[in-house]
Amino acid sequence: MFHDKNVIVCPDWIMSRKLLSKFEESHGHCTRDPWPQLGITRSSAPDRMGCLKLGDNVDRLLLDGLESIVEKAHVISDRAQMQNYLADETAGPVKPKPANDLVLVRPANTQQVSAVLQLANRHHLAVFPRGGGTGLVGGAVPTHDGIILSLERMNRIEIDKENMMAIAEAGATLQRLANTAGQAGLFFPPHPGDENAQFGGLVATNAGGSRAVRYGVMRNQVKALEIVTATGEVLSLGGRLHKNNVGYDLMQLIIGSEGTLAVITKVTLRLYPKFAATATIILPYSNRDDAMSTVQKILQEAGTPLAIEYVSRDLLEMTATHLGERWPVAVGNCYLIIIGAEASRDQLIPQSVRIREICRQNGGFEPFYVESQRDQDKILRIRSNIYFALKNETVDILDISVPVSELVRVIDSIEKIAREDKLFLPVFGHAADGNLHIHIMKREGDTPDHVKALRNEIYGIAIDAGGVITGEHGIGKIRTDKIQSCLAKEEIELMKAIKRVFDPNNVLNPGAKIPA
């Protein structure tokens, strides 16, 4: 389909060749140094990204160029109409500010994505790939003048039952894929908290979620990707294969690249048989040490459940109140919430019994056990809404990842800070993965410097414990200055070199993932 980057192949685009020439006659090719973001050039001003002027009166010829690729109704320059595309779910105080001069483009197919990227690359215009906007680190926020590229119209899903795989276009949401797979009697395990996330974003962030304990993260599910490079080439990486050892694994490099190396247009995902029996078991403890010491025992002696979450009682009660509900467990100060999921009830019951024994042997109270879907959904709803209950007062959400053996020490250290500083610093997370979410909450009189110092202190605790600053949410645009705390200088240089190979003009999501 695509043969040569200099040959324009999209049928719509061929029709617009004349227009393009006219466009280039008046604007010329961009000659500015493309590397301001990577510190390769003396100039580092972000507004040097584009040589086309995308002013209040967004350049008419640019709009004509884009409208000749994508239907007019999907090229939007009116600020009011693009409001929903200017931010993501990043906490208010740390949310990056969107640029002023932006065009929103919603392509219908891969050829259109390719043609938009060719145009943008030729003129060194920044392109911000966008999924569901559920990211928590400003990754999709368009921070330079340029193009917001929303893949939402590309949302088809095909189920390949024979190979137990799904082929989803980048704009398909997690919710639709889970339902479509379910209707086919199959199951897609990863479940990061917000089902409005789209597959382009889920793969670009290598999302995790509570079920990673048994199935791993997004990169463990992806079998193939269709991508469009910054220069417009369409590539198919991987295949409907379980084993593939040909060449370097470029597919895995794109997974988690946060829109900086390529635009993902299609994803092939592994599916699994549906479970016939599930149960939710809440293990109550009076202290965290006992709760955490149970986690490894369960994994070693009872098999791997679908999820093992750690949450304190005060957070769950607060969230239940926020939802107008009641947290059903009356004992304990902290909990492990376990989801058991097996092929039959005959397998589920002995596992649940063993978990109960382990809980009791480790200082826990009598577990709270539910099997009815309604009761399980109620508990999960409360757990999933912690984020929303805290949202209005949250200043930043940290997402540290540490060895499981260090969890107790790490949470103790964070709670010590909270106690000494008289702060409300909620900590919860995916206990079996060593992945903790910490909400830094608003406090009267706190300055941005105070928040920064607190964040650095918590990052320091994670790194000292052999961990990293993010396990799931990624670096986005708000953590780039912190990656040198986890990576060697040489690693960062290699990453910058990879970025240059994939995106020679630094048009794809500038300012994200790696530092300037």
* Positions that interact with ligand FAD (CB under 6 A): 88-89, 128-136, 139-140, 151, 170, 192-194, 197-198, 200-202, 204-205, 207-209, 258-259, 263-264, 387, 472-473, 509, 512
Question: Which CB, 197 or 329, lies closer to ligand FAD?
Answer: 197
- Considering beta carbons, is residue 263 or 407 the nearer one to ligand FAD? 263
Of 384, 478, 392, 491, nearest to 137 (Cα)?
478
Find the shortest distance in angstroms from Cβ 504 to ligand FAD.
18
Dig out the tokens for 321 from the structure: 């109140």
Classify residue 364 by burial, with Cβ atoms within 10 Å: 0-12, 13-18, 19+: buried
Phi and psi at residue 266, to the nearest 5°: -150, 145
* Rounded least distance, CB 137 to ligand FAD, Å: 8
Nearest CA-CA partner of 294 in 375, 249, 349, 361: 361
Query: With respect to ligand FAD, which residue has the nearer C-beta, 451 or 508?
Result: 508
Residue 66: both structure tokens together: 């884009």
Give the shortest CB-441-to-ligand FAD separation in angstroms. Answer: 16
Calculated CA dihedral for residues 385, 386, 388, 392, nearest 10 degrees: 160
- The minimum distance between CB 88 and ligand FAD, in angstroms, equals 5
Nearer Cβ to ligand FAD (89/101): 89
- Residue 65 or 138: the one with the smaller Cβ distance to ligand FAD is 138
Query: Interior CA angle at 140 toward 139 and 143, to 5°?
Result: 90
φ and ψ at 418, to 5 degrees? -60, -45
Shorter beta-carbon distance to ligand FAD: residue 304 or 384 = 384
Question: In Å, how far from its chain's centre is CA 173?
Answer: 13
Minimum CB separation from ligand FAD for residue 411, in Å?
A: 18
Between 195 and 325, whose beta carbon lies closer to ligand FAD? 195
Structure tokens at 228: 């469009």
Nearer to ligand FAD by C-beta: 264 or 427? Answer: 264
State in angstroms the smallest separation of the CB of 26 from ligand FAD. 30
The DSSP secondary structure of 314-326, one letter per residue, reads HHHHHHHHHTT--
Question: Closest distance between ligand FAD and the C-beta of residue 430, in Å?
Answer: 7
CB of residue 135 to ligand FAD, shortest distance in Å: 3
Sort residue 488 into left (φ over 0), alpha (ψ -120 to 50) or beta.
Answer: beta
| In the complex, least distance from residue 132 CB atom to ligand FAD, rounded to whole angstroms | 3
Q: Select from 134, 199, 197 the least CA-distant residue to 476.
A: 134
Residue 484, phi then psi, degrees to nearest 5: -65, -15
Residues ≥6 apart with Cβ < 8 Å to 232: 2, 5, 114, 115, 117, 118, 121
Nearer to ligand FAD, 259 or 364 (CB): 259
**Torsion-angle region of residue 209: left (phi > 0), alpha (psi -120 to 50) or beta?**
left
